[in-house]
Amino acid sequence: MASPVDQFQIKTIGPSLNVAGMDISFTNSAAFMILATVVVGVFLTQSMSGRHLVPTRFQSMAELSYEFIANMVRENVGSEGRAYFPLIFTLFMFILAGNLLGMIPYSYTFTSQIIVTFAMAITVFIGVTIIALLKHGTHFFSYFLPEGAPIVLAPLLIVIEVLSYLSRPISLSVRLFANMMAGHTMMKVFGGFVVALGIFGVAPLAVLVALTAFEVLVAVLQAYVFAILTCIYLHDAIHLH
């Protein structure tokens, strides 16, 4: 029987390419990222192409997802956040599509790879820091000294605050990656039980049904959490409290 973590194996598709010592072969992970992009693009353009006054089912889904993120940005970032709506909407739809595509049997979940989620998180982190620096200049650094703290403690506090600021991309990426990886591993483990227990496999099968539903919830929830945390970080960068 296949090991539960075999599903995370990266496999190259087609020829293996090497550029300057880096392996840039096309992989199953990359294939599913492209698939996710295509699915989102087709979903949004096709469903909105009718432009019905009374939306069809698909148009309604597209409008709902748009409004969901638009409201999220407005409530969490404020009116200045409108400029960053495309970024957050793209992130949300990409992660959501990746998570949900991963729920299809035999597919690959690219969000279960730390490097993918970390790349997105570090992009958000660097972008947010640059926005804060552009908006507030050097005043941004006052962020790291809590108001009213005794000056004697400043060296210690500043280091701790900087570290806790730097831990943002890690916690942002680990949250998504760990949720997806743990969930999918658990599903494979229970799937193994079903096969191994023969007739008594009905019990783990029941658990598996509930687990599948839970995984769909987690898939949507983690996309939402990633998007809303990006919004909150943007809010901090723009308003600096």
Partner 1 sequence: MVAPLRRGSGKHGIRRVRGCAEVRIAALAGPASAGLVRGMDDRKSPPSLEDLADRVKRVRGGQDAARRKDLESGLPSSAMGLAFRVGVELVAGVIVGAAIGYGLDQWLGTKPWMLIVFFFLGAAGGMMNVYRAATGKGLSVGYANTADGDGSNEGGPKGSEHSDGGSPDGGKKEG
* Residue ranges in contact with partner 1 by CB under 8 A: 74-76, 78-80, 136, 139, 143-148, 159-168, 170-171, 174-175, 178-179, 221, 225, 228-229, 232-233, 235-236, 239-241
8 Å CB contact between 216 and 55: no
For partner 1, give the closer residue by CB, 48 or 228: 228
Dihedral angle computed from the Cα positions of residues 103, 104, 107 and 111, in that order, rounded to the nearest 10 degrees: -20
Q: How far is CA 179 from CA 5, 73, 159, 168, 174, in A?
A: 14, 24, 30, 17, 8
For partner 1, give the closer residue by CB, 194 or 225: 225
- Cβ 145 to partner 1 shortest distance, Å: 8
- Cβ 92 to partner 1 shortest distance, Å: 15
Rounded to a whole number of angstroms, the CA Rg of the chain reads 22
- Cβ 200 to partner 1 shortest distance, Å: 28
> Which amino acid, 53?
L
The residue written with tokens 């990222």 in the block is 33
Encoded tokens for 86: 């495309």
> Which amino acid, 119?
A
8 Å CB contact between 225 and 233: no
- Cβ 131 to partner 1 shortest distance, Å: 14
- Cβ 139 to partner 1 shortest distance, Å: 7
Contacts for 157-160 with beta carbons within 8 Å, 24 or more apart? Answer: none
For partner 1, give the closer residue by CB, 141 or 200: 141
For partner 1, give the closer residue by CB, 104 or 182: 182
For partner 1, give the closer residue by CB, 80 or 212: 80
For partner 1, give the closer residue by CB, 39 or 220: 220
